[in-house]
Amino acid sequence: MVEAGSTRQVKLTVKALAFGTLAEQTGQMTLGKTFRFTGFLLNARGSKSVVFHIQTVDQVSDQVLNPI
C-alpha cells in the first residue's frame, strides 16, 4: 500500500465466526487454498473490537483473483 508517497505494510487481525454446517465446512478446508468469505462486521459485545460473521464461503481459483 502507498500512502502519502510512502510504501506502508498493513496488517489486520479480525476474529471470525461461523455457525452450523458453515462452521463444519470451514473446519474441513484445505490449508494453502484460496477462499472468499462474505459476511458482515459487528462490534463484539462489551468490546471495541469487531467480529467478522461469515455467511458464505467459496473457493477461488488460484489463477484468477478479483478484488471486490
CB 40 within 8 A of CB 55: yes
Containing 20, the helix (H) or strand (E) segment is helix 20-27
Q: What is the pLDDT of residue 68?
A: 53
Q: Given this model, what pLDDT does residue 38 score?
A: 96
pTM summary value: 0.68
Helices and strands (H and E) in the chain: how many? 1, 5
**pLDDT tens digit sequence for 8-38:** 888 889 999 999 999 998 888 888 888 899 9
pLDDT digit string, tens, across residues 39-61 = 999 997 788 889 999 999 988 87
